[in-house]
Amino acid sequence: GEAKRLRLELERAKKGLGEGTKDLQAKLKAAEEGRAEAERALKEALAKLAVAEKKLAEERARAAGLDKGLKEAMEKLKASGEGAEGADGRESELKKVIEGLRKEAAGALKDKEAALAEAERRRKAEEKEKAECAKLRGLLKEEREEADAVQKRLIAEAKDLKGRLEAALKDVERLEGLSKALEERVRHLEAELKSARGGQGEQAVLERRIAELKDKLEKAQRALSEYQEKHTSVSREKVLIERELRTVTSHLEEAEKEMAGLRGQRGSDAAELARLRGLLAGGEETERKAAADR
């Protein structure tokens, strides 16, 4: 009965652990999907940022070339002695071109700022996902500690049951010894009966003693058989309990492996986040330079 109680309690613990592990795994899977989505969005934002930076660099190069061309044209005009009216007209035309290019550069800067804002928003979403995953890891740790406590208690009870089984085996061996001694005594009395030369009264007494001993022997053998059957049933329960304990341990090891994989992925996420922060810092520096150019 106690072995059955242990087995039922172990099954309940296993069921609770399995349900808790499945729930945590579902939450971790959702967190992983959110992380993958955030990663894709970060890549898109970084791609837009790279395009904006490239376009800005091109616009800067064009503006620098036009400024240089304007200076050269002005110098040539002054050197050739052309009239002020013609020089003013060319200068006005060049200024219009430069103003148009500056507007294009401002548009590129605006796109870059939007990309930076999107990257920052994605970064905050990523940090939120990381916090959620940390919370899930804490819950999984609590589940693990609770399962360990249940497992330790069940192992202690199983050891106690094993000690009682060993004591029962010793009792069985003792009963088997008594049974053999009784059988030997019966055979001895039967031999005495056959060799007896006394009167009928003595023979009747011996026959009664033999019958009584045979009856006691049969009762002892029945009790021994019942005891052995009970011992066999308890042994089967012990084997089932040990098997369930191994199954629970296997589930716990699988949960630990999944958490180790998640920690590795979180490490790569932290490196990606650090790289994004570096790019954001570089983008801010580029924006300051562009503002100075404007």
Core vs surface per residue 242-276: b (16+ CB within 10 A) or e: eebbeebeeebeebeebbeebeeeeeebeebbeeb
Any idea what DSSP says for residue 82? -
What phi and psi, each to the nearest 5 degrees, are found at residue 128? -65, -40
Looking at the predicted structure, is the pLDDT value of residue 191 above 80?
A: no
Any idea what DSSP says for residue 198? S
Structural domain spans, the chain: 2-293
Distances (CA, A) of 73 to 10, 27, 66, 229, 287: 92, 68, 10, 114, 30
Looking at the predicted structure, is the pLDDT value of residue 228 above 80?
A: no
Helix, coil or strand: residue 184: helix
Helices and strands, counts by H and E, the chain: 3, 0
For position 233, what pLDDT does the model report? Answer: 63
For position 48, what pLDDT does the model report? Answer: 75
The whole-number average pLDDT for the span 192-217 is 62
Residue with tokens 């330790």: 152
Distances (CA, A) of 44 to 13, 271, 294: 46, 18, 28
pLDDT-derived band at 143, boundaries 50, 70, 90: confident
Looking at the predicted structure, is the pLDDT value of residue 99 above 80?
A: no
Looking at the predicted structure, is the pLDDT value of residue 215 above 50?
A: yes
Distance CA 33, CA 40 (A): 11
What's the pLDDT tens digit per position in 8-22? 766 776 676 666 667
| Number of neighbours of residue 194 by Cβ within 10 angstroms | 8
For position 294, what pLDDT does the model report? Answer: 47
Which of 79-83, 133-137, 190-194 shows the lowest mean pLDDT across its residues?
79-83
Any idea what DSSP says for residue 81? T
Distance CA 268, CA 261 (A): 11
pTM (2 d.p.): 0.34
Distances (CA, A) of 267 to 15, 46, 203, 240, 274: 32, 20, 95, 41, 11
